[in-house]
Amino acid sequence: MNKILIFSLFILSGIFTQTKAQTYGNWSGILHTQSVPVTENGNPDFHYFTPKIQEYLKQHYKGKYIKLITYVVKQGQRYTISIKYPQDGIDRSVEFIGYDPYNSRGFSISYQNRNKPGTWWVNRINVTNSQQSTTDRTVVVVSTNTPSAPFHLRIQYPAVPDNVVDSRLPNPGDPKAGEFFWGTIVKEPILMIR
């Protein structure tokens, strides 16, 4: 009961963290409410983050609808990040940045979404946090041009093997489409600088 209460509080706050023992196998980190555009007046999530992140968001995401999540990613460890959302025609982008985004080396990916009602897009990304990172946290920035766009995110440790992620398989969000490649292998480690 206490675990359910704690998890519910995380959902309400919009900030999700992961310890070494946890995986987000049930698609925790659902993003569909409280997204607001980045403006000079800030964002409700900003108080969680450094002035450098606030400035970065104003420079790179002004006018976009964003949601911020933090995850624990230990130095030198490999993770599988899974992304899922309905094929509703709304484009989405995801970026992983450090608390100092100007000196970090993150990763970003954009999705041009088809409009296929009743189907979902699922993508898996294998990524490693560099041994040289100065923090074990990454900030995930999810952005769209539309408010309240559904978006689900999970992170798994240990990672799914690269040869599985990089295989031709039916996409669980749209199995009728048949087998195709729907995974991404990030070869260069991300560098998270605080």
pLDDT in tens, 74-93: 999 999 988 888 888 988 89
- The pair of structure tokens assigned to 187 is 């070869």
Do the Cβ atoms of 72 and 23 come closer than 8 Å? no
Backbone angles phi, psi at 158, to 5 degrees: -70, 165
Supply angle C-alpha 81, 82, 85, rounded to 5: 140
pLDDT at 48 over 70: no
pLDDT at 117 over 90: no
Q: Is the dihedral of CA 191, 6, 35, 144 positive or negative?
A: positive
Distance CA 156, CA 59 (A): 31
Q: What is the DSSP letter of 105?
A: B
The structural domains of the chain, with segments of one domain joined by +, span: 16-185
Per residue in 17-42, pLDDT (tens digit) is 332 323 333 334 433 333 344 444 44
Q: Which amino acid is at 70?
A: T
- The pair of structure tokens assigned to 137 is 């946290």
Q: What is the CATH number of domain 16-185?
A: 2.60.120.380
Per residue in 169-185, pLDDT (tens digit) is 888 877 887 878 888 89
pTM above 0.75, yes or no: no
* Among candidate residues 65, 66, 93, 81, the one with its CA nearest the CA of residue 28: 81
Give the up-direction half-sphere exposure of residue 186: CA atoms within 13 A in the CB hemisphere: 24
pLDDT at 61 over 50: yes
Supply angle C-alpha 52, 58, 63, rounded to 5: 160
